[in-house]
Amino acid sequence: MLTKSEEEIMYLLWDLDEPLTSSEIVKKAVNKTWKKSYINLLINSLLKKDMIKVVGVKQMTKNYARTFCSYNDKGRLCNQADFGQTEFCRQRYSDSLLRAY
C-alpha cells in the first residue's frame, strides 16, 4: 500500500514517462514543498516496494544524482530509461552508487 505522497510521485513518474532525479521530482511536483530528506525517504520506500528502479545517473552541477523510473501497468520501465548509462555507472562507480542510501 502506498502513502498519498508516494502515490503523487508515482503519478508524476507515470505521466512524464522519463527517468527523473529526486531534485527533478521535487521541481516538477505541483504545489509541493518536499524537503530533500523527505523526498529521499519516499524514494527509498518506493525502491523497497519495487515500485521504482534506479536506471542511471545524471550529472547535476558538480554532483551525480541517481535517476528513477516507475514500472508501467505492463510491468515495464519507462520508455526513456538509459540502460547504457546504468552499465557505465556500474563499471565506473560500482553498485554502491545505484543502491538506496
DSSP state for residue 77 in the 8-state scheme:
B
Q: Contact at 8 Å (CB) between 52 and 28?
A: no
Q: Contact at 8 Å (CB) between 10 and 71?
A: no
Q: Provide mean pLDDT across the span 42-70.
A: 92
Could you tell me which residue, 30 or 92, shows the higher pLDDT? 30
39's grid cell: 523526498
50's grid cell: 519495487
User: Does the pLDDT of residue 6 top 70, yes or no?
Assistant: yes
Q: Contact at 8 Å (CB) between 3 and 49?
A: no
Sheet strands (E) in 1-101:
52-60, 63-70
Q: 40-76 burial string, b = 16+ CB within 10 Å, else e? A: eebbebbbeeebbbbbbbbeeeeebbbbbbbbeeeee
**pLDDT at 57 (0 to 100):** 93
Over the stretch 10-42, which tens digit does the pLDDT of each residue have?
989 988 888 999 999 999 988 888 888 999 999
